[in-house]
Amino acid sequence: MLDPEECSGCGLCVRDCPAQALELKKESRTEFQLVYYPARCAYCGQCVESCRNQAITHANQLAESTSTPNASVIVLKDTLDQEKEKET
């Protein structure tokens, strides 16, 4: 689980994830997208430890099953669209 209010897009969780289950697509300091790939996740808890903002917590929640590993992709935070909306 991610608390989008607390996530600053620092990328520490992405850097420390041993399973490459997190990805940060960053365009600027405020424009970024944090993506989570549950199929790769080892549920090791490293991302929870690494986050200085306590933005990530573990949850007893099952992800939907899928037969294609990359089909299950969860966008945890996306400020890219918000920034674009502001511009228009």
For residues 54 and 88, which CB has a smaller minimum distance to ligand SF4 in the complex?
54
Q: How far apart are CA 31 and CA 66, in angstroms?
A: 30
For residues 74 and 84, which CB has a smaller minimum distance to ligand SF4 in the complex?
74
Name the minimum Å distance from CB 85 to ligand SF4.
21
Q: What share of the chain is helix, strand, coil (3-state, %, to 5)?
A: 25, 20, 55
Q: Give me the amino acid identity at 33.
A: Q
Q: Which residues bind ligand SF4 (CB under 6 A)?
A: 2, 7-13, 17, 19, 21-22, 34, 41-47, 50-51, 53, 55-56
Name the minimum Å distance from CB 19 to ligand SF4.
4
Tokens of 36: 């989570």
